[in-house]
Structure 1
Amino acid sequence: MSSQKKRNFTIEAFKHRVVVDPKYADKTWKILEHAINEIYNHNASGLSFEELYRNAYNMVLHKFGEKLYSGLMTTMTSHLHEIANSIEVAQGEVFLDELNRKWTDNNKALQMIRDILMYMDRTFIPSTHRTPVYELGLNLWRSTVIHSLKIQPRLQGTLLELVHRERIGEGIDRGLMRNIIKMLLDLGSTVYQEDFEKTFLEESAAFYRGESQQFIESCDCGDYLKKAETRLNEEIERVSHYLDSKSEAKICNVVEKELIENHMHRLVHMENSGLVHMIVNDKYEDMGRMYCLFRRVPNGLPFIRDVMTSHIRETGKHLVTDPEKLKDPVDFVQRLLDEKDKLDKIIHTAFNNDKTFQNALNSSFEYFINLNPRSPEFISLFVDDKLRKGLKEVSEEDIEIVLDKVMMLFRYLQEKDVFEKYYKQHLAKRLLSGKTVSDDAERSLIVKLKTECGYQFTSKLEGMFTDMKTSQDTMQDFYDNMVGGEASDYPSLTVQVLTTGSWPTQASITCNLPVEILGVCDKFRTYYLGTHTGRRLSWQTNMGTADLKVTFGKGQKHELNVSTFQMCILMLFNNGDRLTYKEIEQATEIPAADLKRSLQSLACVKGKNVLRKEPMSKEVGEEDAFFFNEKFTSKLYKVKIGTVVAQKESEPEKQETRQRVEEDRKPQIEAAIVRIMKSRRVLDHNNIVAEVTKQLQVRFLPNPVVIKKRIESLIEREFLERDKVDRKLYRYLA
């Protein structure tokens, strides 16, 4: 038992011996307090940190942690009051330097104190839910120094004043600013926000509100945007140098709102410098800047996109409806292409290839190009001009570029079938006259059209090329089959045999061919019909050409390239030098309109006047007389005499083409209705119209009225029937 007591005594002995000393805690704290004072007074070099740590350890171990913690708070607070006083008396620019120096010293002191009291930090503080030593030091610094009534407003004012000075171009100590801002952040994000950021943003808004007003009154749009961009970049740079990174979005929002959002409408519509002025004058840099700045604010891009769209539509509408600009179809299309190139470059260069801007451009072009019902005809005439072999030699690469651009316009057309009608006519003339720039270019365009619209769109066009190739073989065979020297007895003849379904349907215009020609034509007819059974041949004299060898007054010889009609007229002058209009008309039986154009080409075009006309005038009248022009001269041996003809169709021709297009559409609309009804069985009127429109819009935009008529026709022919209850509901009859 005694040994047990002894054992108990030895366990308790050391503790009780220390604890019973009532002066132990005070003595130990005095040692630690002295050390803390020395640390604050920069005399820490003589201290034994190991001994101090052990003292603090023992105080906590022996339950004097509360005394140690409260003593620490009192001592630190006392020193911080002294520090606050020294900062308060600092005047002018020394104020921030003093604050920064004291803050640096305080941080070092805190770290040393934390090291000494590490055991308290690890055991006493978590168990009693107290604030850790370092954090306690920061809190006391915040409440005693930073939130001192004499320091807090002064600190905020000084920081804001330095920012303002930097904004107006003065230099400041950014390193010092960075340290002070970092101090606020180290004291907690709310300290930074409440003591600086909140007021900083408010004052920035006021500053930029005033500055934007000055700018808007004195600058044009381009200069204003440059200044706004500069200010935005300055604020971003300022954040990177000494503000919290989270402040970037906030200050940018302030600048964007005050400099951009609040003045959007005025900037975009600014007279002689706004967006439309930039577009017209190719101000790519200014537009790019506008795009980048406006994309930062709500509804900024939709707003400039709408203004751009409105301008494009207005400009385009003027372009396609101005009578002066419609006089030359080729120039008309070239203007469209130039406008598209210009706007494409703007969207690519200035608007960052923004898809929404590209879509707006496309919808605008589609809108105004279809305002002119003759756009399909004009685009085909433009293609004809580029693919027709002329004086200028064009490289294949250049032709491909032009064709790609034409296809871009073609996509905008709602009446693609109208283009097809004209294109077929123009292609036919190029092929038959041998004036196409190259078969490769022609086929390239057909491939593009097929890709865009499908095989059905181009099958007949491809048939035209097939006919041309077959005709070459036919002619070769025809001459190979002529007996002996028979071929030399007749003028040389080249015939193109055209399949009726593939080529443009035209009323067969005949004329009385010269006797010299009739013989070889009959020979060919006999040969062809003998080779191919069940076929009919019909001469299309309005589509042919001829080469005539002519000798003029002084024995001067020329070879004239003329139309078949012109050949028939000129051959009459082999039997007489003077013929009246009536005599020519009676002898050739060429229709009046074609006859007048042919005579006008032969007698009224300077440098091509192989005939003379009396009375001399630009127009051909029925009372005119014509003479062979013995005095005709030309520097060229071969002289091509074109037919004077309007590039565009005459009004009756236009009406006829339109009528043919409308007739061709009827079976296509009916076929679409039947396809839809066959799969759907029952459908209401509005849905049929929507489905038909969707199916056919690749070729043309069908008129709902016409669709209704085709439905009525199908009901009459018992393909469909109306529902007995709901008259707008249709059923398919199998």
Structure 2
Amino acid sequence: MSFPDFQTSKRPRIDPYDDTVMDMDTAKSTPPAQDLAPFSNLLANKLKQRSQHALNDKKVKAYDFKLDSPGLAPDYERVACQQLEEAIHAILGNQPPSTNLEILYKYCENLCAHNKHEMLYNLAHSICQNSLQLMFVTLERHAHDKGEGMEGADFLNAIHGIWDTYCNQINQIRCILLYVDRSYRSIIDMGRELFAGYWRVSSPLRNKVIQSVLDMIHAERNGERSDTLLLKNTIHMLMDLHFYESDFEPQFLESTRLYYKAEGDRLIQEMHMSGYLNHVATRVHQESTVRLKLYLDKQSKNAITSIVEGNLFVDRVNEILAKSFAYFMDNKRVDDLSLLYRLLKKVNQTDRCGSVFIDYVKKKGSEILQNDGNSDNDVLPTLLAFMRKVDGIVGHSFEDDELFVVGSKDCYSYVINLRQNNTAVLLAQYIDTLVREDKLDDKSLDIFMTFFHLLQSKDTFELLYKQDLAKRLIMDVGSIKAEKAALARMKNDAGVAYTSKLEKMIRDIKASTELVDEYKSDLDYDHDVSMQLNMKILTYGFWPACPPMEMTLPQKFQRIQNDFEMFYIRKNPKRRLTWQNGLSVCEILANYPTGAQTITLTLAQTLILMLFNDPANEPLSFGQIAGATGFDELELRRTLKTLACGEHKILIKRPESAHVEPTDQFGYNANFQPTSQHLWMNTEKLKETIDNNAAVNQTVLINREQSLDAAIVRILKASEQLSHTALLGEVTKQVRFPLTTPEVKARIECLIEKEFIERTESGDYRYT
């Protein structure tokens, strides 16, 4: 294409030089010549006039040095605009421009050099606007028309094709108008703003595109295959047009909320909780990771994750925990519990699970201690197995979270020290059974010490253990080595003072054995070889207190007691013996028609049976037996019941009944057939004697009151004056047993009445 009097291949010449020129040597003005050459020639001529260069230090200063660009040819602007307009129309019509692109670029460059940026920008803006107006009329018609198959993916494909083509057209226009894009305004932004403007006012088109996208996402959530690339392109178009946050995202989040609310309502009733939790984890991953990578904006991650977690999990936490937690814990579903914990931790709901965990451990632990179908000896091992299972779950599933670690320890302490659980009694029975059956090994000792360490009512356990230890030592049951092993472990945990009396009981048995051997070897006393004597010297204050039982001993028995008492007083002149006949045990040889039978009895049972050695005395009445033995009526009833109404009926009672009455008659049972070679008739009777004469609860109460009084006085004596709160805190630190605030207040009032302490005018307490 040719243009008149204009060569497009060369740049226009610079205007002739028309100003004065500075002399480099003299710095004086030189008048211009008549026929001035161009600036470049003038400069060359001036340099040629110098035959020799001179070096000097003078400086040349030039102010407002400017070169004026030449003006445009008369028709240049009109022709250039016409060519550019035709090229833009061709591009928007998907046709190649008729003019060379380099020429079009030069047109734009030259026009911009003469400040024609705004004119070119407005030209492109007007042409694009008209083109878009026609295009959107067609798009709106397709949006309203539902009978030509332009629905769903087809419609989105059409929209994406139009948008992609338009973007390519704008890029081509930008290449031609690059000078305008760089020096005035962005052509890309202009094209996007024009498209966004028509998109904004075209509600049917906008709503149909968004609804089509939501329908495809809904189908994908239901397991159907969707064109994720088409979704990505469409959503990115909305992002480029800045309609993602304002139009698409609110509707998308609302549809997501409704979808997962309905799904949660349905699945939580249909699915097992293990499967439901896995479904929640899968959905969260799909929405927060997979879908974002495929086509959603990353800024939507927090919102969509919160909606999915909220509707499927957070709003249903209580129902999920109620349905699943106990089942998971009972069946040790560690993986399900781990998934539950991670989901709860992700939404900051571990506190709700922690409260359910604590309630579960307390309930289960109390059920075990209250002996639901277990024998007494199995209760503590079962509870320990439960505790170890819980600890394993806390470490594996709950990742040793401090909330659950501390909660489990508090639960163990609560369960073991709950009064109605009687843990002290169960623990005493457990260790008593192990020692009696000689089954006390390191493993069983560890079980025992686990609960002993957590037990707060150690004073109650001490009295119970002392009773059982007394019975074992008196009846020579168990092993002294096992007794010492148990006491050594208790000493390490509770201190020397706690086991000092118990250790003294064992030392008494050892000293008694040595003393009896010395007595038997003493020739000053006449020993009856028909009787084997074994006596135990029990130090008063260390053993359970048992008042002496009044009874009339046979002459032979009385003589032996007198001889031993004289021997003991001679060895220990400052001591006095009190005979505990109620705790005495006898081993006799009974002769029956079927053969001899060894029977171990209490002394009271033995005295009664010895009355029936002479058949001429039978039958004996209740009164005759009472007169011969010296027993009171209550004690005689209990003893005769063990001989005539128990499992082994050594005596015959007339009339037969389950109880002993003062009118009953008793005789020798010649037809008695023992079930073993050695019968133990003393166990229950001796146990009853010790237990009935040691009121544990009353003793514990008195000891606690005395310890509490001493602690209060000791604290106030050291501090001189304390407030009620401070005193209560110090008392709680010092005592070793559980107590309540009303109990402390009651002892304070008692001490005030006894004038050990006084209350000041300010309400504090002071030692007097």
TM-score normalized by structure 1? 0.73
- What corresponds to 2:422 in structure 1? 375
- What corresponds to 1:501 in structure 2? 541
Pick one of 704, 713, 723 that aligns with 2:742.
704
- What corresponds to 1:230 in structure 2? 279
Paired letter, 1:237: Q
Paired letter, 1:732: Y
- What corresponds to 2:443 in structure 1? 397
* Within-5 A mapping of 1:673-688: 673-685=712-724, 688=727
Greater shift in the superposed pair: 514-523 or 233-242:
514-523
Residue-by-residue CA offset, 1:617-674 (whole Å, 9 max, x unaligned): 22223333333333333353222224446999999868x4433333222321221212
Paired letter, 1:662: L
Deviation at 1:195, TM superposition (A): 1.9
* Within-5 A mapping of 1:161-200: 161-185=215-239, 187-188=241-242, 191-200=243-252
* Within-5 A mapping of 1:549-588: 549-554=589-594, 556-575=595-614, 578=618, 579-588=620-629
Cα pair 1:138 1:187 within 8 Å, conserved: yes
Matched, 1:626 2:626: no
- What corresponds to 1:9 in structure 2? 39
Alignment partners' CA distance in 1, 2:94 and 2:523 = 129
Paired letter, 1:602: L
SS at the partner of 1:672?
Answer: helix
User: How many matched pairs?
Assistant: 701
Paired letter, 1:166: E
Cα pair 2:649 2:669 within 8 Å, conserved: yes
Alignment partners' CA distance in 1, 2:526 and 2:171 = 121
Alignment partners' CA distance in 2, 1:332 and 1:313 = 18
Distance 1:52 1:380, change over 3 A: same
Greater shift in the superposed pair: 469-478 or 560-569:
469-478
SS at the partner of 1:151?
Answer: helix
- What corresponds to 1:124 in structure 2? 183
- What corresponds to 1:99 in structure 2? 159
SS at the partner of 2:549?
Answer: coil
SS at the partner of 2:676?
Answer: coil
Greater shift in the superposed pair: 640-649 or 275-284:
275-284
Distance 1:2 1:313, change over 3 A: closer
Identical aligned pairs, as a percentage? 25
Residue-by-residue CA offset, 1:683-725 (whole Å, 9 max, x unaligned): 34565456435543x41315736744555445645x43343x4
Q: Which runs of 5+ in 1 are unaligned?
A: none
Deviation at 1:197, TM superposition (A): 1.7
- What corresponds to 2:256 in structure 1? 204
Paired letter, 1:404: T
Deviation at 1:199, TM superposition (A): 1.3
Distance 1:519 1:673, change over 3 A: same
Paired letter, 2:303: K
SS at the partner of 1:550?
Answer: strand
Distance 1:168 1:344, change over 3 A: same
Distance 1:152 1:69, change over 3 A: same
* Within-5 A mapping of 1:644-663: 644=684, 656-663=695-702
Paired letter, 2:249: E
Deviation at 1:70, TM superposition (A): 4.9
- What corresponds to 1:637 in structure 2? 677
Residue-by-residue CA offset, 1:575-602 (whole Å, 9 max, x unaligned): 5574444344344444544443333233
- What corresponds to 2:4 in structure 1? none
Paired letter, 2:717: K
* Within-5 A mapping of 1:705-724: 707-713=745-751, 716-717=754-755, 719-723=756-760
Deviation at 1:157, TM superposition (A): 0.8
Deviation at 1:99, TM superposition (A): 3.5
Distance 1:82 1:615, change over 3 A: same
Deviation at 1:516, TM superposition (A): 5.1
Cα pair 1:450 1:458 within 8 Å, conserved: no
Residue-by-residue CA offset, 1:49-86 (whole Å, 9 max, x unaligned): 99998887777666555456555655666676677677
Cα pair 1:683 1:730 within 8 Å, conserved: yes
Alignment partners' CA distance in 2, 1:327 and 1:507 = 38
Matched, 1:597 2:638: yes
Distance 1:196 1:373, change over 3 A: closer
- What corresponds to 1:250 in structure 2? 303
Distance 1:602 1:36, change over 3 A: farther
Alignment partners' CA distance in 2, 1:394 and 1:50 = 103
Q: Which runs of 5+ in 2 are unaligned?
A: 1-19, 24-31, 44-63, 144-149
Cα pair 1:562 1:640 within 8 Å, conserved: yes
Deviation at 1:95, TM superposition (A): 1.9
* Within-5 A mapping of 1:315-334: 330=376
Paired letter, 2:434: L
Deviation at 1:198, TM superposition (A): 0.8
Paired letter, 1:692: V
* Bigger Rg over Cα: 2
Distance 1:720 1:72, change over 3 A: same
Matched, 1:670 2:709: yes
Greater shift in the superposed pair: 164-173 or 362-371:
362-371
Distance 1:401 1:419, change over 3 A: closer
Greater shift in the superposed pair: 614-623 or 435-444:
435-444
Paired letter, 2:589: K
Alignment partners' CA distance in 2, 1:327 and 1:223 = 30
Cα pair 1:601 1:643 within 8 Å, conserved: no
Matched, 1:491 2:531: yes
Alignment partners' CA distance in 1, 2:538 and 2:75 = 128
Cα pair 1:509 1:541 within 8 Å, conserved: yes
- What corresponds to 1:543 in structure 2? 583
SS at the partner of 2:436?
Answer: coil
Deviation at 1:237, TM superposition (A): 0.7
Alignment partners' CA distance in 1, 2:465 and 2:276 = 54
Cα pair 1:545 1:562 within 8 Å, conserved: yes
Paired letter, 2:220: E
Alignment partners' CA distance in 1, 2:489 and 2:178 = 84
- What corresponds to 2:471 in structure 1? 429
* Within-5 A mapping of 1:310-389: 330=376, 337=383, 344=390, 375=422, 378-379=425-426, 382-383=429-430, 386-387=433-434, 389=436
Distance 1:248 1:590, change over 3 A: farther
Greater shift in the superposed pair: 140-149 or 234-243:
140-149
Deviation at 1:553, TM superposition (A): 1.7
Matched, 1:732 2:767: yes
Deviation at 1:161, TM superposition (A): 1.7
